[in-house]
């Protein structure tokens, strides 16, 4: 390296929708013509980043300056459904957007304009500042999401929060048993995986509950390979056995739990044969699990992934799993608890930032619909203009047939903000090139690491690339909202104002380290067992336990050649991102995987071309085997990250009926039939 290069160091946080939220130092050469970010060094001092990234994203500078990165606005030159565009100036793109906005507002009203966004960039400013623009317009704004929102809601009904313990309990010496339920840590959360391996070295045992034999399941003390969506039945069995053995923690229940008697009534209706049939587990496996839990009472931690709540009744799945820990009194003690999402610990300060960033009123009166229903909602002709940012709906949202039909509407003008052409830009009329996360000042409030961290934006070499805030600020200027104090600040000024809103201690930590974590390694959340409910006690409502009485239709018997469909993200991709730097795995998305015994049973062979079908769609795939899958389950990877490939992404087979709270998607409540072509 040239010794005369002046290096500027900036803190950064990976803003991808990922458990990691890795914090690092970026080394920049601000004077370079193009490749200004030289390298990123993951922080060794950060107790969860622990000095390493994931294999998905070791070299983010490759993506930042990738030749395919969009550098100019693009306007469609062919019909929708293709990525055929021509470049236009930023000025023309802004003028056209304003023209279309004015037309939509005058002809159809401002609610005909829709904002669809998610967490493709988790930065608070990136994700939420455009709400200033859309609220001022009176536009329709999506609600909910597609990830963990159902679980957050369900757990909050019990605990008043969805964050009840922190990840440091994994390595607390008091822990003896870690139950990893519905989470593939080695593929999706490599920092928690690292901690669990440390805990195993320290003597903790591991139970895995997952339809897939994950890396940790291979060497676990016990692997319960239950059928998808039957988590509540596993929980019901275990709870019944705990009651039968009279090993519940009565003191804990009496002091800290309201209405716990409801549980006894609900689990009394217990049909062992039905549970074994539906879960696909043996009595021995379930009894072993119960014994391990009883042996390690007050020393057990549950790590629960987002998978169990991706069903129509997903939130209740989580509630029933949590009941096991409640009955055993496994809260507030070192090395115990229920680890799901951490962002609930941040509300005292993140709410201040969000309020300022969005400038939203306390009870905003808006038109809205759930994000998971974008397709069916847009099929209504009342919507005429759609803005999509931080989201690749033509890959990530369910029921692609309905969604794409809506996006193809000629009378729907679609503006997409993105870094690369992708499946969604095929439906855009106008594409705006955006900045990478590291090129913008921003805040990240992670969901596995409690706390907050920052991106100190470095320079972007492409003059037409904008952050989402900058794009909507330019539009606001053209709307002449001069007298409205909405977009007067630059993004840097907005960021600095937000820093000023934070408590001094957090400001100092962010300046010094790039991150703030509200816990030390030995801090135990809710050690006083005073939860943020109306009376401080854990709340058990009978409605949360409804599942114990009902038989959701997913459990209807499978037909001939029919399989439960799981669609996890691929190890080297984050939902629909990373296609540019991991092309070597493209073929994995063209396959449907089954257990070898199922392939034999339906008289097919590996590499056969097969037709995958269900009530939503059909499409060709290549059949492959995966011994990690339980018999009866098919797997197609989600987050198809390549535009223009000749396959249908898995979300052609998923339902857009959201989870019952309507806050997130029910991606795993689906079955497919596989037949030879
Ligand atoms: S994708 Fe996740 S694990 Fe990988 S660098 Fe980003 S935050 Fe870390």
pLDDT of residue 33 exceeding 60, the answer is yes
- 585 SS3 class: helix
Centroid of ligand 1 to alpha carbon of 86 (angstroms): 33
Confidence class of residue 481 from pLDDT cuts 50, 70 and 90? confident
Confidence class of residue 310 from pLDDT cuts 50, 70 and 90? very high
> Which of 13, 57, 453, 641 has most ligand 1 atoms within 8 Å of CB, for mutation?
57
196-207 confidence digits (pLDDT tens) = 999 999 999 999
Centroid of ligand 1 to alpha carbon of 190 (angstroms): 9
pLDDT (mean) for 494-498: 98
pLDDT of residue 554 exceeding 70, the answer is no
Judging by beta carbons within 10 Å of its beta carbon (0-12, 13-18, 19+), is residue 529 exposed, middle or buried? middle
Asked if residue 93 and residue 204 are part of one domain, the reply reads no
Give the residue whose CA is nearest to atom 4 of ligand 1: 54
Asked if residue 110 and residue 93 are part of one domain, the reply reads yes
pLDDT of residue 547 exceeding 80, the answer is no
Residue 128: closest CA among 114, 147, 146, 115: 115
pLDDT of residue 576 exceeding 90, the answer is no
Q: Rounded to whole angstroms, how far apart are CA atoms 5 and 11? A: 19
Asked if residue 155 and residue 126 are part of one domain, the reply reads no
Strand order in the sheet with 515-516: 442-444, 452-455, 515-516
Asked if residue 260 and residue 197 are part of one domain, the reply reads yes
Confidence class of residue 225 from pLDDT cuts 50, 70 and 90? very high
Q: Is the CB of 14 under 6 A from ligand 1?
A: yes
Residue 618 in tokens: 């059909």
* Mean pLDDT over each residue of the chain, to the nearest integer: 94
Q: Which of 319, 340, 361 is the last residue of a domain?
A: 340
Name the domain count of the chain: 3
Strand order in the sheet with 140-143: 85-87, 74-76, 430-433, 413-418, 385-389, 113-117, 140-143, 367-370
pLDDT of residue 671 exceeding 80, the answer is yes
State the pairing for strand pair 257-258/222-224. unpaired
Q: What is the pLDDT of residue 4?
A: 78
Asked if residue 329 and residue 386 are part of one domain, the reply reads no
Q: Is the residue at 412 inside a domain?
A: yes
Asked if residue 493 and residue 398 are part of one domain, the reply reads yes
Q: What is the pLDDT of residue 559?
A: 84
Instruction: Tokens 């939902």: give the residue.
Output: 575
> Which of 12, 16, 514 has most ligand 1 atoms within 8 Å of CB, for mutation?
16
**167 contact partners, CB below 8 Å, separation of at least 6:** 48, 192, 195, 339, 342, 448, 449, 450
Q: Is the residue at 402 inside a domain?
A: yes
Q: What is the pLDDT of residue 448?
A: 93
Centroid of ligand 1 to alpha carbon of 249 (angstroms): 39
Give the residue whose CA is nearest to atom 2 of ligand 1: 20
Asked if residue 281 and residue 193 are part of one domain, the reply reads yes
Asked if residue 153 and residue 136 are part of one domain, the reply reads no
> Quick one: CA torsion of 7, 514, 188, 585, rounded to 10 degrees?
-20
Residue 42: closest CA among 28, 29, 59, 62: 59
Asked if residue 388 and residue 258 are part of one domain, the reply reads no
Q: What is the pLDDT of residue 75?
A: 98
Instruction: Tokens 């795939």: give the residue.
Output: 621
Asked if residue 319 and residue 200 are part of one domain, the reply reads yes
Q: Is the residue at 83 inside a domain?
A: yes
Neighbours of 601 (CB within 10 A): 13
Q: Is the residue at 444 inside a domain?
A: no
For Cα atoms 154, 155, 160, give the angle at the middle one, nearest 5 degrees.
115
CATH code of the domain containing 123: 3.40.50.740
pLDDT of residue 551 exceeding 70, the answer is no
Residue 675: closest CA among 554, 577, 563, 523: 563
Please give the distance of CA 297 from its chain centroid, rounded to a whole number.
31
Give the residue whose CA is nearest to atom 6 of ligand 1: 14
Judging by beta carbons within 10 Å of its beta carbon (0-12, 13-18, 19+), is residue 276 exposed, middle or buried? middle
Q: Rounded to whole angstroms, how far apart are CA atoms 537 and 255? A: 8
Q: Is the CB of 56 under 6 A from ligand 1?
A: yes
What percentage of the chain exceeds 90 in pLDDT? 88
Q: What is the pLDDT of residue 555?
A: 59
Q: Rounded to whole angstroms, how far apart are CA atoms 423 and 416? A: 11
Q: Which of 340, 362, 391 is the last residue of a domain?
A: 340
Which residues form the domain of 297? 149-340
**669 contact partners, CB below 8 Å, separation of at least 6:** 229, 310, 311, 312, 554, 655, 657
Q: Check if the beta carbon of residue 538 is closer than 8 Å to that of residue 313.
A: no
pLDDT (mean) for 447-460: 96
80-130 confidence digits (pLDDT tens) = 999 999 999 999 999 999 999 999 999 999 999 999 999 999 999 999 999
Q: What is the pLDDT of residue 517?
A: 97
578-607 confidence digits (pLDDT tens) = 889 999 999 999 999 999 999 999 999 999
Q: What is the pLDDT of residue 636?
A: 98
Give the residue whose CA is nearest to atom 5 of ligand 1: 53
What phi, psi does 545 have (nearest 5°)? -105, 10
Confidence class of residue 552 from pLDDT cuts 50, 70 and 90? low
Range picked from 1-10, 273-282, 638-647 for highest mean pLDDT? 273-282
> Which of 21, 23, 54, 572 has most ligand 1 atoms within 8 Å of CB, for mutation?
54
Q: Is the residue at 297 inside a domain?
A: yes
What phi, psi does 38 have (nearest 5°)? -90, -50
CATH code of the domain containing 660: 2.40.40.20
Sign of CA dihedral 426, 428, 433, 439: negative
Confidence class of residue 1 from pLDDT cuts 50, 70 and 90? low
Judging by beta carbons within 10 Å of its beta carbon (0-12, 13-18, 19+), is residue 507 exposed, middle or buried? middle
Confidence class of residue 484 from pLDDT cuts 50, 70 and 90? confident
Confidence class of residue 265 from pLDDT cuts 50, 70 and 90? confident
CATH code of the domain containing 278: 3.40.228.10
Asked if residue 301 and residue 164 are part of one domain, the reply reads yes
Asked if residue 273 and residue 318 are part of one domain, the reply reads yes
* Atom in ligand 1 nearest the alpha carbon of residue 56: 4
pLDDT (mean) for 373-386: 95
Judging by beta carbons within 10 Å of its beta carbon (0-12, 13-18, 19+), is residue 204 exposed, middle or buried? buried
């Amino acid at each position: 390296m040239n010794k005369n290069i002046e290096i500027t160091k900036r803190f950064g946080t990976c803003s991808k929708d990922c458990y990691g939220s890795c914090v690092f130092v970026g080394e920049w050469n601000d004077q370079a013509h193009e490749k200004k970010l030289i390298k990123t060094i993951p922080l060794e001092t950060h107790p969860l980043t622990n000095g390493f990234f994931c294999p998905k994203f070791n070299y983010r500078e490759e993506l930042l300056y990738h030749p395919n990165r969009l550098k100019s606005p693009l306007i469609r030159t062919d019909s929708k459904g293709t990525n055929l565009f021509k470049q236009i100036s930023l000025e023309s793109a802004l003028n056209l957007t304003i023209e279309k906005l004015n037309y939509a507002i005058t002809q159809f009203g401002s609610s005909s304009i829709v904002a669809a966004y998610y967490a493709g960039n988790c930065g608070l400013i990136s994700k939420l500042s455009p709400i200033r623009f859309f609220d001022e317009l009176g536009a329709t704004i999506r609600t909910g999401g597609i990830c963990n929102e159902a679980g957050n809601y369900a757990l909050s009904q019990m605990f008043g929060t969805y964050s009840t313990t922190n990840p440091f309990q994994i390595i607390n010496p008091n822990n003896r048993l870690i139950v990893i339920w519905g989470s593939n840590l080695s593929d999706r959360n490599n920092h928690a995986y690292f901690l669990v391996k440390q805990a195993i070295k320290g003597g903790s045992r591991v139970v895995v509950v997952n339809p897939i034999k994950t890396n940790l399941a291979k060497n676990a003390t016990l692997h319960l390979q239950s059928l998808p969506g039957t988590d509540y039945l596993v929980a019901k069995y275990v709870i019944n056995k705990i009651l039968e053995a009279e090993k519940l923690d009565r003191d804990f229940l009496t002091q800290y739990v309201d209405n716990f008697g409801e549980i006894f009534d609900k689990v009394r209706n217990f049909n062992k044969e039905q549970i074994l049939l539906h879960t696909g587990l043996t009595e021995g496996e379930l009894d072993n699990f119960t014994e391990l839990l009883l042996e390690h009472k007050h020393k057990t931690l549950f790590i629960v992934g987002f998978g169990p709540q991706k069903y129509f009744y997903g939130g209740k799945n989580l509630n029933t799993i949590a009941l096991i820990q409640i009955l055993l009194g496994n809260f507030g003690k070192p090395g115990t608890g229920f680890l799901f999402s951490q962002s609930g610990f941040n509300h005292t300060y993140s709410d201040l930032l969000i309020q300022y960033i969005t400038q939203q009123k306390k009870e905003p009166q808006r038109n809205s619909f759930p994000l998971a229903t974008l397709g069916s909602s847009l099929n209504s002709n009342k919507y005429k203009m759609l803005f999509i940012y931080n989201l690749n709906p033509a890959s990530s949202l369910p029921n692609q047939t309905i969604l794409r039909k809506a996006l193809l509407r000629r009378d729907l003008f679609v503006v997409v903000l993105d870094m690369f052409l992708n499946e969604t830009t095929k439906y855009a009329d106008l594409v705006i090139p955006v900045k990478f996360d590291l090129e913008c000042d921003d805040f990240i409030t992670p969901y596995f690491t409690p706390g907050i961290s920052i991106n100190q934006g470095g320079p972007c070499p492409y003059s037409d690339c904008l952050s989402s805030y900058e794009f909507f600020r330019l539009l606001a200027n053209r709307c002449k909202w001069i007298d409205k104090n909405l977009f007067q600040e630059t993004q840097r000024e907005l960021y600095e104002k937000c820093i000023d809103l934070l408590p001094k201690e957090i400001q100092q930590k962010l300046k010094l380290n790039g991150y703030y974590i509200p816990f030390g390694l030995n801090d135990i959340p809710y050690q006083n067992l005073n939860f943020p409910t109306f009376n401080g006690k854990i709340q058990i409502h009978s409605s949360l336990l409804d599942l114990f009485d009902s038989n959701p239709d997913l459990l209807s018997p499978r037909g001939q050649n029919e399989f439960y469909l799981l669609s996890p993200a691929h190890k080297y991709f984050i939902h629909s991102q990373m296609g540019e730097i991991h092309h070597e795995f493209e073929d994995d998305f063209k396959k449907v995987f089954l257990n070898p015994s199922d392939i034999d049973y339906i008289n097919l062979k590996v590499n056969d071309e097969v037709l995958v079908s269900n009530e939503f769609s059909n499409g060709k795939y290549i059949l492959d085997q995966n011994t990690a899958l339980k018999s009866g389950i098919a797997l197609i990877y989600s987050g198809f990250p390549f535009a223009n490939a000749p396959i249908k992404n898995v979300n052609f087979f998923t339902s857009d009926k959201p989870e019952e709270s309507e806050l997130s998607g029910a991606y795993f409540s689906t079955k497919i039939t596989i037949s030879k072509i």
